[in-house]
Chains A and B, each alone.
Chain A
């Protein structure tokens, strides 16, 4: 991976800010008169939801699939990213003839509430002050993100989603959808996720947040006014988080103890090792496309996520009475959201005799496996969606039902 020249970096930052305020995605604005009631009991108004769509909504509006993105993802699932110019983050899974087949399904993905790609978040302008919210933005939850998506679907006139799917934090949204809006979800695919955030998950997030807030350029969250960005802090947060998305095996295989662009140790704190160089690159490219305060708010929302506590201390209550068909997916080498977390979801679904499939995919690529083209994973998604589509009476795909 090459380092991006400084002038390009400035252009990238400008592009990032432009996506906050004038996103290239379609946006639905909800005026002052249509506030979003948040879990913290505050009202958010006005607010906006930016989204991307792929494929065509059928006349019965029965073929819509909502994809929920993860912490550092966005709505650009299967198109070139407007800031980085890279392919969509799930382009291998979503597209014509692909497992999430846009020739038969209408796929949409919203930028989550609190994000920084056109939906309202801490970088958006606070109508009360005319300046970016910063820390005046209310602390939001996964449930709030889902409620914002619900409002968009109401606008689009989609009563029931054929499927809601997503990995990691996207999977938490899937679970929240299935719990809060049972009748609006025909099938649900929570991938590499958990019904609550563990102490380890919270701990890792706290390290990231403290790194951001320790950066003097963070300016108490008001860096927007000073024309700076807490780049170093956010980069460190990203570096630490990125390690948790991989597995030890991947690190060994991909980097080992190999040196970067040199034959011997430099006896300095340069990025001697390939892995150091890789992480630094991950950190520095991340700050060009992501808002630091968004990172704080979204990680907080994940930490607050506890579907069991939300339902009286019994996870099964979250799903009682559900008619949704579930396909729960985990990966063997994912230590961030390990298989036992998915098993807890399955146990709760079984306890209410819900219709559930559960597969654990053998992969040594860690949590990031859900973003990669794992053949068994893709076959599972295709098979599950095809079976659901037949039950929902949708037209068969290229390869038959």
Chain B
């Protein structure tokens, strides 16, 4: 689904640009939930990556393949188990982990399949969301999380701190964590997780599996 606050095709999405900064040129990339292939194309154009994608929607998969991208119809919850260990330099999950059924299992697969994992997600700890929940007593609806709870595909929303806890739990290491606001401006508060958690609308984490690094 096209997120309402997604920029029009042509202008790269803010989190995509941040992800692209983290990716080494010429690497092998698996983009899980690749949508219309915008990130894969950005990475191919700016970083000359060997990119593959997985996407749930058949229409989007077919559109990607028609554009020459290597994409399969598949499901992050079901199909990641098929991939061998360390098959990619980066396994990327952009704004998708909160919509998976088993985020922990998915994250474990990411750090197993990729030498690095890159995960971006909307931050449920942002001050506006906290305030809305506190003041209205209802699930917050924001530009970032525009759908009511009964329509949203986001089954597992989390805060930046929550995600950081999960990273420890799956025995991964944070190489870089960037919080940013919806216009894509990164916040200059890199060192304080609490500040990021309060002020960042979204976050991108670059991870490495501990056991293999």
User: Which residues of A does B touch, CB under 8 Å?
Assistant: 325, 327-328, 346-347, 350-353, 355-362, 376, 379-380, 382-384, 386-387, 390
Apart from the given pairs A347-B82, A380-B65, 7 other A-B contacts in the complex at a CB distance below 8 Å: A327-B65, A350-B79, A351-B83, A376-B62, A383-B65, A384-B68, A387-B69
Query: Given contacts A351-B84, A355-B52, A376-B62, are A346 and B68 in contact (CB under 8 A)?
Result: no
A359 touches B68 (CB 8 A): no
Find B73's partner among A327, A347, A358, A379 (CB 8 Å cutoff): A358
A350 touches B83 (CB 8 A): yes
Cβ contacts under 8 Å, B74 to chain A: 346, 358
Most chain A CB within a 10 A radius of its CB, from B65, B67, B74, B84? B65
Closest to A329 in B: B65
Minimum Cβ distance to chain B for residue A15 (Å)? 40
Cβ contacts under 8 Å, B68 to chain A: 383-384, 386-387, 390
B82 touches A357 (CB 8 A): no
Interface size on B, residues (CB 8 A): 22
Q: What are 24 residue pairs bridging A and B, where the CB atoms are less than 8 Å apart in the complex?
A: A328-B72, A346-B74, A350-B83, A351-B82, A351-B84, A355-B52, A356-B52, A356-B70, A357-B64, A357-B65, A357-B70, A358-B71, A358-B72, A358-B73, A359-B58, A359-B61, A359-B73, A360-B58, A361-B62, A379-B62, A380-B66, A383-B65, A384-B65, A384-B68
Cβ contacts under 8 Å, A376 to chain B: 62
B82 touches A358 (CB 8 A): no
Minimum Cβ distance to chain A for residue B208 (Å)? 19
Cβ contacts under 8 Å, B72 to chain A: 328, 346, 350, 356-358
Find B62's partner among A346, A350, A380 (CB 8 Å cutoff): A380
B180 near A: Cβ within 8 Å? no
B87 near A: Cβ within 8 Å? yes
Interface pairs A-B: 4 shortest CB-CB: A387-B68, A353-B87, A383-B66, A358-B72
Cβ contacts under 8 Å, A382 to chain B: 66
B88 near A: Cβ within 8 Å? yes
Find B61's partner among A352, A358, A379, A386 (CB 8 Å cutoff): A358
Instruction: State A325–B70 Cα separation when bound (angstroms).
Output: 8
B65 touches A359 (CB 8 A): yes
Instruction: State A357–B77 Cα separation when bound (angstroms).
Output: 19
Cβ contacts under 8 Å, B70 to chain A: 325, 355-357
Instruction: State A356–B64 Cα separation when bound (angstroms).
Output: 12
Instruction: State A360–B68 Cα separation when bound (angstroms).
Output: 16
Instruction: State A126–B75 Cα separation when bound (angstroms).
Output: 53
Instruction: State A352–B62 Cα separation when bound (angstroms).
Output: 23
B84 touches A352 (CB 8 A): yes
Closest to B72 in A: A358
A350 touches B82 (CB 8 A): yes
Cβ contacts under 8 Å, A328 to chain B: 72
B83 touches A353 (CB 8 A): yes
Cβ contacts under 8 Å, A353 to chain B: 83-84, 87-88
Minimum Cβ distance to chain A for residue B79 (Å)? 7
Instruction: State A362–B58 Cα separation when bound (angstroms).
Output: 9
Cβ contacts under 8 Å, B71 to chain A: 357-358
Cβ contacts under 8 Å, B79 to chain A: 347, 350
- Interface residues as binary, B28-67 with A (CB distance below 8 Å gives 1, 0 otherwise): 0000000000000000000000101000001001101111
Cβ contacts under 8 Å, B73 to chain A: 358-360
